[in-house]
Structure 1
Amino acid sequence: MESCSIRRETLEMFEVGPCENSYQMGFLIGQRFSQQIRSRIASDLILQNELLPFAQTPQSHSLLQALQHNNRTKFPTYWDELLGTAHGSGVPFLHILLINFRKEILAFIPKGVQSSNADPSEDCSDLLVVSESMAIAAHNEDANVALLGHTYLIKGILPNGLFFVAYTYAGELPSCAFGFNSLGLGHNLILKLKPGHMLRVPQAFTLNSVPPNQDEIVAGGIGRNFVSRDILEATSIDDALNRIRSSEVSVGHSYNLIETSTRRTLNVETASRKRVSVYEVQDENSISRQQRAAVLEKKSKEDFLSLLGDNEDRKYPIYMTGPLLHTLCTTVIDLDDQTVSIITGNPKKGHVSHVFSISQKSTSCHYNHSNVN
Structure 2
Amino acid sequence: MPAPADIGRRNAIPILHTSGTYYEVGFDVGRTFRGIIEDFLASFTELHQTMLPAYETEAGKAAYDLTLASLQENFPQYVRELQGTADGARVPFHHLLLLHMDSIVPSAAGMVSPPASNGCSSICTNHEGQVLLGHTEDALPETLNHVYLVSAHIKEEEPQGKLGTTSEGFTALCYAGHLPGFCMGYNHHGLVYSINVIMPEKVLAGKTPRHFLCRALLSAKTMEVAQQILRDRGTGSADGFSVNMSFTRQEGDHLFHNAEVGPAEDAEGSPMSILTISPGEHLIHTNKYLRLSIPEKNELCMASSDHRHARAKECCPPETREALLDLLSDTHDTVYPFFREGGDPDFVKTVALGVFDLMERRWTIWMRNPRNTDPLLSLPLLFTWKD
Report the 3-state secondary structure (helix = DSSP H, G, I; strand = E; otherwise coil) of the residue aligned with 1:91: coil
2:193 aligned with 1:205, yes or no? yes
Deviation of the 1:208 alpha carbon:
0.4
| Aligned residues: CA RMSD | 2.4
* Equivalent residue for 1:243, pick from 224, 229, 245: 229
Partner of 2:366: 343
Please list the CA deviations of residues 292-350 of structure 1 after superposition, one character each: whole Å capped at 9, or x if unmatched.
11222346422221211112213321111113200011110112221011111112234
- How far residue 163 of structure 1 moved from its aligned partner, in angstroms, is 2.1
Residue number among 2, 12, 27 corresponding to 2:14 in the alignment: 12
After superposition, residues 170-249 of structure 1 pair within 5 angstroms as 170-183=176-189, 202-214=190-202, 217-246=203-232, 248-249=236-237
Question: Structure 2 vs 1, CA of residues 5 and 96 (structure 1 numbering), >3 Å: closer, same or farther?
Answer: closer
Output the CA distance in 1 between the equivalents of 2:242 and 2:102.
17
Q: Is the 8 A contact 1:165 1:179 kept in 2?
A: yes
Query: C-alpha displacement at 1:152, in angstroms?
Result: 0.5
Indicate yes or no: 2:118 matched with 1:122. Answer: yes
Change over 3 Å in CA distance of 1:164–1:5 after alignment to 2: farther
Whether the 8 Å CA contact 2:355–2:363 is kept in 1: the answer is yes
CA contact (8 A) 2:127 2:320 kept: no
Task: Provide the rounded CA distance (Å) in 1 between the counterparts of 2:169 and 2:109.
Answer: 38
Of 298, 317, 330, the match for 2:353:
330
1:76 and 1:245 map into 2 onto residues whose CA distance is 18
Residue 317 (structure 1) aligns with: 337
Aligned to 1:132: 128
Residues 249, 272 of structure 1: 8 Å contact kept: yes
Matched residue SS, 1:158: strand
Q: Which residue of 2 aligns with 1:26?
A: 26
Change (3 A) 1:65 1:83: same
How many residues are matched?
334
TM-score by length of 2: 0.80
Aligned to 1:268: 259
**Counterpart-to-counterpart distance in 1, 2:137 and 2:213:** 18
Q: Residue type of the partner of 1:203?
A: L
Aligned to 2:59: 59
Partner Cα separation in structure 1 for residue 311 and residue 141 of structure 2: 24
Q: Please tell me whether residue 295 in structure 1 is matched to residue 295 in structure 2.
A: no
Q: Cα offset for 1:161?
A: 7.7
- Return 5+ residue gaps in structure 1 as ranges: 184-201, 365-373
In 1: Cα distance, 2:142 partner to 2:34 partner: 16
Change (3 A) 1:161 1:23: closer
How far 1:142 sits from its partner (Å)?
0.4
The answer as to whether partners of 2:54 and 2:61 remain within 8 angstroms in 1 is no
Tell me if the contact between 2:9 and 2:145 (Cα under 8 Å) persists in the aligned partners.
no
Deviates more, 1:141-150 or 1:346-355: 346-355
Distance 2:348 2:325 in 1: 19
Match of 1:305 in 2: 325
Corresponding residue of 1:256:
244
8 Å Cα contact 2:198-2:241 kept in structure 1: yes
- Is the 2:339–2:350 Cα contact (8 Å) retained in structure 1? yes
Letter in 1 for 2:310: Q
Distance between the aligned counterparts of 1:232 and 1:255, measured in 2?
12
Residues 168/66 of structure 1: CA separation in 2 closer, same or farther (3 Å cut): same
* Post-superposition CA distance 1:182-234 (Å, at most 9, x none): 11xxxxxxxxxxxxxxxxxx2211000111023xx222211111111111011
The question of whether the paired residues in 1 share the 8 Å contact of 2:55 and 2:61 is answered with: yes
The residue type equivalent to 2:199 in the other structure is P
Find the partner of 2:380 among 357, 364, 367.
Answer: 357
Note the C-alpha offset of 1:140.
0.4
Q: In 2, are the aligned partners of 1:169 and 1:175 still within 8 Å (CA)?
A: no
Q: Supply the distance in 2 between the matched residues of 1:293 and 1:211 (Cα, whole angstroms).
A: 22
Q: Is the 1:302–1:348 contact (alpha carbons within 8 Å) kept by the matching residues of 2?
A: no
Once the two structures are TM-superposed, the CA of residue 27 in structure 1 deviates from its matched residue by 1.1
Q: Supply the distance in 2 between the matched residues of 1:318 and 1:106 (Cα, whole angstroms).
A: 29
Q: Give the whole-Å Cα distance in 1 for the aligned partners of 2:7 and 2:128.
A: 33
In the TM superposition, what whole-angstrom CA distance separates every residue of 1:252-295 from its partner, at most 9, and x where no partner exists?
21012446534444321111222112367244432321121122
Query: Structure 1: which amino acid aligns with 2:367?
Result: T
CA contact (8 A) 1:24 1:81 kept: yes
Report whether the alignment pairs 1:83 with 2:106: no
**Deviation of the 1:359 alpha carbon:** 5.6
| Native 8 Å contact 2:10 2:367 kept in 1 | yes
On the 8 A contact 1:121/1:211 being kept in 2, the answer is no
Q: Is the 8 A contact 2:57 2:109 kept in 1?
A: no
